[in-house]
């Protein structure tokens, strides 16, 4: 039995009449083909396009799709990733469907791609999430008109709700494929601010996307922040390039600038593509940046073993001298002498044995690392001090380097819970002089956002069901390395 997901927003987001829809899409694409962006020689691997009604964001969506028209005889699979608007759920949702219908016909689903996606634990079949969803459907008429109703292209439609950006990244990686696969990210930008505020916010979001700052994006920037972030992680890893095609908002159409929704379009190319961009068009082509994530990941690749060794030697020093090891600045790599904040965590047989760290960078990273390794082993009030007999191969040491904490605004408790990104967000929660901090690693024990918040309140010294308007939150991300990452090292038995 063939199952077809029927159109949900035909007649509202786009015309329900097939001839009228065909004419409108063709007009948007023709205008986009004639633009500078439609004339380029490079062909993207991924595009980011908006998903509002055609009258509001159709011209920007067309700019994105115009960049991939040369793929008509190459692409066989389009992975469409967008945020769930109609219901919240844990993870990523597929629909139990063989195809998705619009007034122009049916686009078949790539069943092999769906099966591949379902092999990941964060993915589930959830028809209710797809039933009234517009964010994926609005892209289908562009695909049908661009590639032809008789093409054998199939789609993998993915709805994202409560999960980490890295969960989205894992799935995009699994479906990345080769030239036969196109990635389409569906997202609008800021929502319901006045025009001046929206333009400022959307330019800031554009800057984050151009810098491949996946970890800096949140739902205040774009409703599809998680889909965008997951794709940016894949692009950043591959050294790809990104080009801004345009920004706009609903006020440009309605004339009402008091409460607008922002839209943007981008194309993401492999690093070897040659692209044409004219400054007067506002186009911006950017390579991955060296922001916190890129810099820290490179730091860990280059100096991770040295960082682990410093922490190990500080613990051995404390066993012998009951104090942290002073850093010999002449013997430490210069990269570790820059200011930095870190947490050091000890686990024995998989169970927490100590965790102490710095929230803000107040000294060089090497010194912070040695101090916190000592404190995790000997000054964590929850545990007795480490004994030399415990320094065996079942004691794991891990280091988490923290980004600067930034304010994490919310309107109420439900809004805060909805905005949390499991497995990615580190959160500092405070009220008055009470404060609690959870590293992103805590999501492994508390994957439900409501539970995560309740236990964080308890850590701050507040009742788990407490709430007040004075509650404040800050968000940070981490990158880290553990002692088990260092191969062929007699980790604890090599004395200093």
- CA contacts within 13 A on the Cβ side of 290: 3
Q: What is the per-residue pLDDT for 385?
A: 94
Q: What is the per-residue pLDDT for 3?
A: 95
Q: What is the per-residue pLDDT for 287?
A: 53
Average pLDDT, the chain: 89
Say which residue the tokens 């292209």 belong to: 153
User: Is residue 272 predicted with pLDDT exceeding 80?
Assistant: no
Rounded distance, CA 350 to CA 459, Å?
Answer: 21
The model's pLDDT over 293-312, given as tens digits with 9 standing for 90+, comes to 778 888 998 999 999 999 99
Phi and psi (nearest 5°) for 176? -60, -45
> Could you tell me the pTM of the whole model?
0.69
Q: What is the per-residue pLDDT for 145?
A: 96
Rounded average pLDDT over 487-495: 44
Rounded distance, CA 68 to CA 47, Å?
Answer: 9
The model's pLDDT over 374-421, given as tens digits with 9 standing for 90+, comes to 999 999 999 999 998 888 878 899 999 998 888 888 889 998 998 888
The model's pLDDT over 84-126, given as tens digits with 9 standing for 90+, comes to 999 999 899 999 999 999 999 999 999 999 999 999 999 999 9
Strands 99-102 and 181-186: unpaired
Strands 478-482 and 241-249: unpaired
User: Is residue 78 predicted with pLDDT exceeding 50?
Assistant: yes
Rounded distance, CA 375 to CA 347, Å?
Answer: 14
Q: Tell me if 236 sits within 8 A of 212, measured CB to CB.
A: yes
Q: What is the per-residue pLDDT for 17?
A: 97
Q: What is the per-residue pLDDT for 286?
A: 57
Q: Tell me if 387 sits within 8 A of 316, measured CB to CB.
A: no
Q: What is the per-residue pLDDT for 93?
A: 97
Q: Tell me if 159 sits within 8 A of 83, measured CB to CB.
A: yes
Could you tell me the two tokens for 431?
């009220």
């Amino acid at each position: 039995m063939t199952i077809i997901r029927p159109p949900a927003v035909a007649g509202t987001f786009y015309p329900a009449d097939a001839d009228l829809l065909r004419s409108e899409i063709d007009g948007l694409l023709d205008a986009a083909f004639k633009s500078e962006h439609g004339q380029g020689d490079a062909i993207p691997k991924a595009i980011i396009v908006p998903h509002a009604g055609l009258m509001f964001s159709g011209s920007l969506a067309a700019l994105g799709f115009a960049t991939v028209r040369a793929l008509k005889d190459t692409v066989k699979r389009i992975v469409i990733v967008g945020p769930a608007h109609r219901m919240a759920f844990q993870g990523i949702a597929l629909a139990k469907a063989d195809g998705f219908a619009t007034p122009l016909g049916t686009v078949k689903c790539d069943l092999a791609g769906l099966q591949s996606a379902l092999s990941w634990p964060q993915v589930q079949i959830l028809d209710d999430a797809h039933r009234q969803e517009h964010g994926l459907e609005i892209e289908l008429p562009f695909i049908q008109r661009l590639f032809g109703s008789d093409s054998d292209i199939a789609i993998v439609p993915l709805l994202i709700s409560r999960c980490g950006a890295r969960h989205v990244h894992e799935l995009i990686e699994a479906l990345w494929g080769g030239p036969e696969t196109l990635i389409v990210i569906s997202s609008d930008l800021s929502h319901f601010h006045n025009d001046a505020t929206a333009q400022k916010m959307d330019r800031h979001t554009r800057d984050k996307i151009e810098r491949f700052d996946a970890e800096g994006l949140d739902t205040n920037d774009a409703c599809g922040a998680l889909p965008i972030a997951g794709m940016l992680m894949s692009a950043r890893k591959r050294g790809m390039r990104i080009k801004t095609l345009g920004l706009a908002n609903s006020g440009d159409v309605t004339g009402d600038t008091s409460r607008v929704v922002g839209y943007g379009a981008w194309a993401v190319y492999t690093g070897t593509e040659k692209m044409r961009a004219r400054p007067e068009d506002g186009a911006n082509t950017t390579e991955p940046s060296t922001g916190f994530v890129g810099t820290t990941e490179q730091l860990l690749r280059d100096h991770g073993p040295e960082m682990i060794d410093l922490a190990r030697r500080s613990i051995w020093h404390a066993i012998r001298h009951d104090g942290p090891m002073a850093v010999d600045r002449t013997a430490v790599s210069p990269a570790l002498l820059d200011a930095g904040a870190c947490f050091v965590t000890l686990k024995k047989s998989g169970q927490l044995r100590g965790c102490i760290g710095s929230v803000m960078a107040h000294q060089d990273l090497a010194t912070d690392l040695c101090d916190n390794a000592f404190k995790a082993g000997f000054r964590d009030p929850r545990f007795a001090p480490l004994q030399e007999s415990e320094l065996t191969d079942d004691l794991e040491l891990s280091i988490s380097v923290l980004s600067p904490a930034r304010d994490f605004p919310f309107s109420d408790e439900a809004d805060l819970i909805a905005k949390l990104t499991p497995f990615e967000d580190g959160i500092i929660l405070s009220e008055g002089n009470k404060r609690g901090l959870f590293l992103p690693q805590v999501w492994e024990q508390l994957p439900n956002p409501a539970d995560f918040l309740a236990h964080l309140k308890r850590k701050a010294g507040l009742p788990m069901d407490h709430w007040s308007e004075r509650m404040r939150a800050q968000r940070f991300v981490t990158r880290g390395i553990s002692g088990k990452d260092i191969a062929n090292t007699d980790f604890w038995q090599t004395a200093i």
